[in-house]
Every structure is written in C-alpha cells, then in structure tokens.
Amino acid sequence: AEHTAAAPVPRPRAGGPRVARGGFDAVLPAPVEVEPADGPGYRLTAGTVIRTGPEPAVRAVGEYLAGLLRPATGLTLPVTDADPTAATGPAAGITLSLTGTAAGPDGPRGPDQGGPAGEAPERLGAEGYRLTSGTDGVGILADTAAGLFHGVQTLRQLLPAAIDRDTPQDGPWEVPAGRIVDHPRYAYRGAMLDVARHFFPVADVLRFVDHLARYKINHLHLHLTDDQGWRIEIESWPRLTEVGGATEVGGGPGGYYTGADYRRIVAYAVARHITVVPEIDVPGHTNAALTAYGQLAPDGVAPPAYTGEDVGFSSVAVHGDVSYDFLADVLGEVAALTPGPYLHVGGDEAFTLGPAEYATFMNRLQPIVSATGKTVLGWHQLAAADVRHEPGRVIQYWGTATADESVAAAVRAGARLILSPGNRSYLDMKYSERTPLGKDWAGLIDVRAAYDWDPGGHLDGVPGSAVLGVEAPLWTETVDSMSDIEFMTFPRLPAVAELGWSPAERHDWADFAARLAAQAPRWTAAGIVFHRSADVPWT
Ligand code: TNX
C-alpha cells in the first residue's frame, strides 16, 4: 500500500543542541511526577553492569533491558544478580530492584523503604516504578517486575533516539539526571489487532507487541475469528482452521495460528508484561466457522467462504445444543492456552437475530465462559437489557455517542467498562480524506481527536470508578501488511496509551504533541512507518 512516507529525521549532533524536547520532558506517556536535576547524568560505558536481584522475574527484565541496549551501544552490559544493595559508587550501573528487598543507587533505605519517617511512602502499586538517575547510575525501583518493566521503557526514552537502531552507533549514551515517580491511571490499557480480516504471521504480531510495550500498554486483544477467517487451531474441531482459515478479505490465502504459534505469542507478550485477550466472536461474525461445520448454521447448511467487507449477515444456530457444545469445546481449549483472566466473546452486530434470540444465546454462553474460570468480556451489545449480568463481566464500548442507556444500566448492575469509542480510539478510521487506508463510518480521526477526550467522563451515567481502562482496536479490512499496521497505529496508539496511563491532570494537547514529535526519530531509528500528521510539530 502507498503511505505518506516518513521523512528521514536528522541524527542528533554530538555536543550540539538537542531536539527542542528531550530527556525528562519528553517521556510518553507523561509520568505522574518528573523532576529533572541539574548536573550530569549517567553515562553508559564499557564498565556498565545491569544489576538485578536474584528473583527470576527481575532478572528477566534485566536481560530484556540488556537486549534493548546492546545493539546500538555495542556494549556488553552484563546482567548480574549480585546484591543490588552493594551497588553504590561509580560501578553502580543500572539497578533494578523490588521494594522491600533493596534500595536503588541513591542510597539504602529511603523513606519509601521503611527508612526515616516523615515522608509518606510512595504507592507504586502493581505497575508503578520510581526511576532515579545521577552520575553514579540509574536505579529503577518497583513493587513488581511489571513496574520495573515499565520503568525500563521510560529509561529507554531517556537515552538518545539512536538507541533504537539495530547496529552500533556513536554515543555518548547519557541518561540525564533526575527522578520520576510513576504509576498508571487505569489497570487496562489495550490495543486490538484483527487477524481475521487479514491474517498476519507470528513475527508481525510479535513486532506489534513490542510497539505496545514501548507505551506501557498491557493488554493485546486478538480478534481471532470473523466471517472471513478462523485463525486459531482448535484440536477438537480441526476444520475451523483447515477450511475456515484458508482465505481472507480480498481472497488471499489467509492462514492460522497453531496452538504452538499462539503459545509463542502469549509467551512473548507475558515476557513484556502484556496480557493476551483472545476473542472468539459469536454469535455473528461466524461465516468462516459455518463454512467448516454446516451443522452450526441456523439452516444446517454450510455457506460459501466470504472475502468481502460486509458485517452482520452471519450467525450460529441459537436453538438446540450444537452451538453451545461447540463453544464449550472452543472456549475450553482457548482458555487452557491463555494465562490471562479474560475470554472475549464478541457479541457485536448479530443483525440476523432478534433481541430475544440474542439474549437466549448470550444467557447460555456467559456461564460457559465462567465455567472455564475466565471473565466474560464482550462488545457493548452484551449490555442489552435481557442479557443477564454475569458476575464480574466487562463491557467494551465502541459506540460514537457519549450516552448509552443500556451500557449505563449494565454498569449499575456491576459491569466494568473498557472504552474504545469508535470516533476516538479506532485505529482503522482514516486520518483524513487524503490518507489511503481505513474506513470512515465513525469519522476521520487524526491524532488530536484520538487524544482530546477523557475516559473518566466519556459516557453519561457511567462513573469514572467503573472504567477499567481504554483500548485502541485495529480492524484490518483495509490493512494487510506490517507497514499498513504501523501507519494506522502511529501516532494514534501513543495518544490512547497516554489516556490510559497518565493522570487526568497531565492531559495537555500542546505538551503531548511536542512529546509525540520527540518520538518520531525513535520510530525512524526502529524502522517504524508512521503518519506525519499535520497536527504535530515534527522537527
Ligand atoms: C465494526 S466495532 C465492527 C467490525 C468492523 C469495523 C470496521 C465492532 C465491534 N465491529 O466488525 O471491522 O466496524 O470499522
């Protein structure tokens, strides 16, 4: 596909003025507290060591960090689990430590580690971190390995953009001096990739996972099934992939993930503290399944394969037992392959069913999900009045209105909400009339529109406390390569990531746009294609 090409970005001149924004001012998503310090920072050298405690999860973050820094710096950066409390002085290097077990390089036992009283302890929580940098080294401290991982993403952004190249570059590799305390606004920060309309090989999904990790996104929603293709191998129903996986939009060859492929994606995501959310979309969006097993169709007859872009024309049989037996098998297998807590069951655009049939189906389906031990997640059609409230369930709102009575009622009944407003967070909408890829039914969405809204107050009658988080979905009817994926994702994904992570008080378009501009040299260095939005003061 044709893209608005990313213009080459000049490499920063050594010793010369840096880009307008850099270091502590440029971190994206914006941290909770940022305090740049005067004076020199920490320079990575041939002697730099990455120190972790002995915990395997912390060591893994250390190895991951070394893997990020070695290619461009050419440094060896050994990872050692030597006691990080011993790490003071010039050889301190980069220290990753868990609270309660050790202090960072700024000294043992600060007030937040049960040291001298008088300052309230920091609440880093499940994903927060504290980063301190000075001439002696960089310390990242967190309650969890996930917090350390997010701190590592911040550290990466404090280094020059050339750190994103995959061959040795000139330094110096200096982390400016300062301190950051950071933790997320929402527990759920997601992106969705539709691998059904067009199939993407495992390597593309892994690259997408790396893109999410940069911006502290912690859920990857995989839309695994739709009318045009079934993409996950189910051992008990093998024709789903053999037959249902064999095509895609436009008639290409399609494809599917074996159980081993899916496990590989999950493991890669887990190593980046990202939870995979698998979606099996039912009762609509099921033509591919019906081509494989005609007995699932309402009339018992397998339809032909579908390679167009229409929605809403298919459904599995709602009456009788066959669809529920089928779904118990499918969801059981998918649940067994998935460590995360959610099973997404779609539920959108089942236009061939009346409201009573839809409710009949969902009222049988939801307990099947719960029986696997997973939590029900579904598009907001699941909030329909006659669909019973399954305890704990999560509704994903994709509408373009800012009020929806059925969603507000589901929230009053206890549902939690993920916000994916079609006119704000949809990565498959066109940026403008002039950009080639995408659709426009929910509007044109350039990066300012993707940024300028508040998840906490978006839907009338839904209190901020019911909002679990935000997600940016990428539907792929018009997207069929990694560069297409990147063009639609950058720069909108960082906007949604900031809405999910940064405190509402830090919401500021001009500041965000300047920080976004400072990301572009990193994308260029990493070979990431992006849309040069006219909204942003690219340098
Ligand atoms: C609506 S949003 C859909 C998808 C399409 C998308 C195209 C939602 C839950 N359903 O099936 O791919 O529009 O923009």
pLDDT tens by residue, 208-236: 999 999 999 999 999 999 999 999 999 99
Ligand 1 proximity of 379 Cβ (cutoff 6 Å): yes
Residue 35 annotated as catalytic: no
- Residue 94 contacts residue 136 (beta carbons within 8 Å): no
pLDDT of residue 84: 53
Residue ranges of the chain with per-residue pLDDT less than 50: 1-20, 89-90, 101-120
Q: Choose, from 127, 349, 357, 433, the residue flagged as catalytic.
A: 349
Fill in the DSSP letter of residue 283.
S
CA distances from 261 to 200, 255, 301, 394 (A): 12, 12, 31, 27
SS (H, E, C) 184-202: CCCCEEEEEEECCCCCCCH
pLDDT tens-digit readout, 328-357: 999 999 999 999 999 999 999 999 999 999
CATH superfamily entry for domain 33-113+120-182: Chitobiase/beta-hexosaminidase domain 2-like (3.30.379.10)
Nearest-atom number in ligand 1 for the CA of 429 is 14
ipTM (interface predicted TM): 0.97
Nearest-atom number in ligand 1 for the CA of 476 is 12
Domain edges within the chain: 33-113+120-182, 188-525
Taking the centre of ligand 1 as the mean of its atom positions, its distance from the CA of residue 476, in whole angstroms, is 9
Name the E strands within 380-508. 394-397, 416-419, 467-474
Same fold, 33-113+120-182 and 188-525: no
Q: How far apart are the first and last CA of the chain?
A: 26
Q: Which residues of 177-186 are buried (b: 16+ CB within 10 A; e: fewer)?
A: bbbbbbbbbb
Torsion 526-527-532-533 (CA) sign: negative
Ligand 1 proximity of 309 Cβ (cutoff 6 Å): no
Q: What fold, for 188-525? A: TIM Barrel (3.20.20)
pLDDT of residue 121: 52
Q: Is the peptide bond prior to 29 cis by the omega test (within 30 degrees of 0)?
A: yes
Taking the centre of ligand 1 as the mean of its atom positions, its distance from the CA of residue 163, in whole angstroms, is 37
Taking the centre of ligand 1 as the mean of its atom positions, its distance from the CA of residue 176, in whole angstroms, is 44
Nearest-atom number in ligand 1 for the CA of 285 is 11
Model's pTM, two decimal places?
Answer: 0.92
pLDDT of residue 19: 38
With DSSP H G I counted as helix, E B as strand and the rest as coil, what are the percentages for the chain, rounded to 5? 35, 15, 50
**Among protein residues, the one whose CA lies closest to atom 6 of ligand 1:** 475
